[in-house]
């Protein structure tokens, strides 16, 4: 069976978890966690990379030891180190680490003192009041664990959009290999560009439905066939992702694509419009009585209710139907509209590409400018730059700009916003930059009022340009900090600064609704990769997808501007 990047990263993360619970060397633990992060962030599958170049140490953050384990995992699906650790600890124990407030030391205590090694056992112990007897566990902690477990045990299994794509794309390619297949499209939340995907709804038109179904269930990553019929089937992949196949007739393809793309609320609204006209819309077509009027294309379905085509990303029943009726649908931004990237790191801090390598990668992506924005000195764990280090970086950028053709390197910094709203570097240095990207990296649990004041004060700084990943969230990993985004967006408008849409698949921050708010207030959004390696520029695709869900047009995006206009907006000159 093929092994995906997420499979390799999952092995590394489980090793790190088990080592932490056992109290092993923290540097060894960190090496596995860093390796997992780098592998998961690769836009290209490791299996393909290993075939082209067996020396995996060329990859960012991968040394010889991890490279050897990657090769072992690609060949066997696991590695001896994990198997050895799994024999020493219960397999479900690491799931407890996913719960808020439960670090390795607490999980160690739960296991060794109360013989707990599954979320279900922990839930029973917490409900029985047995946790509070342990050091570091009081009634409040116990209550918080009960609440977190109730949410955890009922949560639908969902994958980040970028992760789902790594499973969807090869599955689509596999189905397309069936003789007689015409079209294969993944519908549902995947097609709408949702941040996370719960399942894959795959629609196919083909001459032989049986052949498609047979090939679908024979896919080598299918772990379990849930159901199988003449034109449809449901399977679960080894990743846990559910995939639903439907083979439809060509004359119904547009209607089925609209129906299974959703959202449910959008579809209900469209069907209501149809009923008002004496029509019926379902997955088979548009009907007036028994007469079939349309359904071969999505355009024909929309036209039946006097609407133009509505892009899948907008179909959430958040005003798109009214906008379509009034001719006010946005001309959504495209990846090709981006002229540059304004958030990027190199080996000078926690990146894995040199200045020259990152510039070359950006140039190969067709970008016209790239801002180098290293971390500032407060982030010591990632070797943040102090004033001296930043000035040395600026000299290197000047030299590269003298020789680099086709790409302008902009001088920037991702400066920490301190708790009091100050910035982590002095004005004398910040004033020498083309742009200053301010970011919150600490004190996430301030009250809403304090967190909002902190960010507004930072934005008032004369050199402040862009607010990075404005809510601080990590999808499925960390809740956003409590901040009044409406005030932040209005303040950005009044102050004349900008908001970032961080395209990293774990962030996608701004949210789609905040993008809409920014658009309505006239605040430009910068779609940035936050690249830490030359491969990370591929994440811009997911940033654009999020921007489209937020109704953004090219004119609403800062880095669609040509360089002279961008510099003018930043208050700089050529």
- Which of 91, 79, 86 lies closest to 36, judged by CA? 79
* pLDDT tens digits, 197-222: 999 999 999 999 999 999 999 999 99
Last residue of one domain, picked from the residues 136, 154, 172: 154
Where residue 135 falls among pLDDT bands split at 50, 70, 90?
confident
Which residue(s) pair with 160 in the sheet?
196
* Rounded Cα–Cα distance for residues 486 and 471 (Å): 12
- The answer to whether residues 135 and 239 belong to one domain is no
Find the CATH number of the domain harbouring 99.
1.10.150.110
- The answer to whether residues 397 and 475 belong to one domain is yes
* Residue 343 burial (C-beta neighbours within 10 Å; 0-12, 13-18, 19+): buried
| 383 phi/psi in degrees, rounded to 5 | 60, 45
Output the pLDDT for position 527.
98
- Residue % of the chain over a pLDDT of 90: 67
3-state SS of 375-409? EECCCHHHCCECHHHHHHHHHHHHHHHHHCCCCEE
Other beta carbons within 10 Å of 519: 21
Stated length of the chain: 574
- The answer to whether residues 292 and 386 belong to one domain is no
- The answer to whether residues 16 and 140 belong to one domain is yes
Find the CATH number of the domain harbouring 187.
3.30.460.10
- The answer to whether residues 182 and 272 belong to one domain is no
Lowest mean pLDDT among 442-456, 472-486, 499-513: 472-486
- Domain limits at 59? 5-154
Tell whether the model's pLDDT for residue 155 goes beyond 60.
no
Output the pLDDT for position 515.
96
Token pair belonging to 40: 């998961």
* Rounded Cα–Cα distance for residues 570 and 463 (Å): 9
* pLDDT tens digits, 303-361: 999 999 999 999 998 899 999 999 999 999 999 999 999 999 999 999 999 999 999 99
Mean pLDDT, the chain, rounded, equals 92
Tell whether the model's pLDDT for residue 556 goes beyond 80.
yes
- The answer to whether residues 132 and 175 belong to one domain is no
Name, of 150-159, 378-387, 513-522, the range with top average pLDDT: 513-522
Q: In this structure, is residue 188 part of a structural domain?
A: yes
* pLDDT tens digits, 509-539: 999 999 999 999 999 999 999 999 999 999 9
- DSSP per-residue letters across 413-432: EEEEB-TTS-BSS-HHHHTT
Where residue 153 falls among pLDDT bands split at 50, 70, 90?
low
Q: In this structure, is residue 330 part of a structural domain?
A: no
Which one is predicted more confidently, 364 or 404?
364
- The answer to whether residues 390 and 467 belong to one domain is yes
Tell whether the model's pLDDT for residue 92 goes beyond 90.
no
- The answer to whether residues 204 and 136 belong to one domain is no
Domain count for the chain, please give it: 4
Q: In this structure, is residue 574 part of a structural domain?
A: no
Token pair belonging to 112: 């060794």
- The answer to whether residues 227 and 272 belong to one domain is no
Residue 480 gets which letter from DSSP?
P
Q: What does the pLDDT average to over 87-95?
A: 74
- Which of 232, 18, 212 lies closest to 108, judged by CA? 18
Output the pLDDT for position 156.
60
Last residue of one domain, picked from the residues 154, 185, 219: 154
Where residue 154 falls among pLDDT bands split at 50, 70, 90?
low
Output the pLDDT for position 125.
84
Helical (H) or strand (E) element with 493: helix 485-495
Output the pLDDT for position 144.
83
Q: Are strands 466-467 and 498-502 parallel, antiparallel or unpaired?
A: parallel
Q: Are strands 199-206 and 242-247 parallel, antiparallel or unpaired?
A: parallel
- The answer to whether residues 234 and 284 belong to one domain is no
Output the pLDDT for position 488.
97
Tell whether the model's pLDDT for residue 52 goes beyond 60.
yes
* pLDDT tens digits, 393-411: 999 999 999 998 999 999 9
Q: In this structure, is residue 289 part of a structural domain?
A: yes
Find the CATH number of the domain harbouring 542.
3.20.20.140
- The answer to whether residues 176 and 290 belong to one domain is no
* Residue 283 burial (C-beta neighbours within 10 Å; 0-12, 13-18, 19+): middle
Strands (E), 260-407: 280-282, 285-288, 291-294, 340-341, 369-375
Tell whether the model's pLDDT for residue 65 goes beyond 80.
yes
- Which of 317, 201, 319 lies closest to 265, judged by CA? 317
- Residue % of the chain over a pLDDT of 70: 98
Q: In sequence order, which residues have a C-beta less than 8 Å from that of residue 361 and are 6 or more positions away?
A: 353, 531, 534, 535, 537
Last residue of one domain, picked from the residues 127, 154, 181: 154
Which one is predicted more confidently, 51 or 11?
11
- The answer to whether residues 525 and 481 belong to one domain is yes
* pLDDT tens digits, 4-24: 888 888 899 889 888 888 888
Angle 5-21/26-41 helices, nearest 10 degrees?
160
Tell whether the model's pLDDT for residue 115 goes beyond 80.
no
């Amino acid at each position: 069976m093929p092994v995906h990047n997420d499979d390799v990263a999952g092995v590394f993360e489980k090793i790190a978890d088990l080592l932490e619970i056992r109290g092993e060397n923290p540097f060894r633990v960190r090496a596995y966690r860093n390796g997992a992060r780098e592998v998961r962030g690769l836009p290209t599958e490791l299996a393909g990379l290993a075939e082209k170049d067996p020396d995996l140490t060329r990859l960012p953050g991968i040394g010889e030891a991890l490279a050897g384990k990657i090769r072992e995992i690609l060949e066997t699906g696991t590695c001896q180190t994990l198997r050895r650790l799994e024999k020493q600890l219960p397999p479900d124990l690491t799931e407890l680490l996913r719960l808020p407030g439960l670090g390795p030391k607490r999980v160690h205590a739960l296991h060794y003192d109360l013989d707990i090694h599954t979320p279900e056992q922990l839930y029973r112990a917490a409900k029985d009041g047995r946790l509070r007897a342990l050091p570091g566990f009081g009634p409040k902690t116990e209550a918080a664990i009960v609440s977190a477990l109730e949410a955890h045990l009922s949560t639908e299994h969902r994958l980040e959009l970028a992760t789902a794509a790594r499973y969807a794309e090869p599955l689509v390619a596999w189905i397309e290999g069936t003789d007689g297949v015409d079209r294969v499209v993944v519908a549902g939340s995947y097609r709408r560009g949702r941040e996370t995907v719960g399942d894959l709804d795959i629609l196919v038109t083909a001459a032989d439905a049986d052949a498609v179904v047979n090939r679908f269930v024979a896919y080598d990553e299918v772990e379990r066939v849930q159901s199988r019929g003449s034109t449809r089937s449901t399977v679960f992949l080894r990743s846990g992702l559910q995939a639903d196949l439907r083979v439809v007739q060509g004359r119904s393809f547009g209607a089925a694509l609209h129906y299974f793309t959703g959202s449910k609320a959008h579809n209900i609204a469209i069907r209501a419009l149809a009923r008002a006209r004496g029509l019926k819309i379902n997955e088979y077509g548009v009907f007036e009585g028994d007469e079939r009027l349309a359904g071969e294309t999505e355009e024909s379905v929309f036209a039946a209710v006097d609407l133009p085509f509505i892009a899948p990303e907008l179909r959430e029943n958040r005003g798109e139907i009214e906008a379509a009726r009034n001719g006010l649908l946005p001309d959504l931004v495209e990846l090709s509209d981006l002229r540059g990237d304004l958030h990027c790191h190199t080996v000078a801090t926690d990146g894995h590409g040199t200045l020259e390598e990152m510039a070359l990668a950006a140039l190969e992506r067709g970008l016209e400018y790239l801002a180098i924005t290293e971390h500032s000195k407060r982030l010591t764990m990632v070797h943040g730059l102090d004033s001296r280090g930043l000035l040395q970086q600026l000299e290197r950028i000047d030299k590269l700009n003298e020789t680099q053709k086709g790409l302008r390197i902009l001088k920037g910094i991702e400066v920490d916003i301190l708790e009091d709203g100050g910035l982590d570097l002095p004005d004398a240095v910040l004033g020498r930059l083309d742009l200053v990207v301010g970011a919150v990296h600490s004190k996430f649990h301030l009250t809403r009022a304090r967190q909002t004041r902190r960010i507004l004060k930072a934005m008032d700084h004369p050199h402040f340009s862009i607010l990075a990943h404005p809510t601080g969230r990590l999808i499925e990993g960390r809740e956003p900090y409590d901040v009044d985004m409406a005030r932040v967006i209005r303040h950005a408008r009044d102050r004349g600064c900008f908001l970032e849409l961080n395209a990293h698949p774990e962030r996608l921050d701004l949210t789609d609704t905040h993008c809409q708010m920014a658009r309505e207030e006239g605040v430009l959004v910068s779609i940035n990769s936050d690249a830490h390696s030359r491969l990370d520029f591929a994440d811009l695709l997911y940033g654009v997808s999020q921007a489209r869900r937020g109704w953004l047009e090219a004119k609403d995006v800062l880095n669609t501007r040509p360089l002279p206009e961008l510099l003018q907006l930043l208050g700089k000159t050529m």
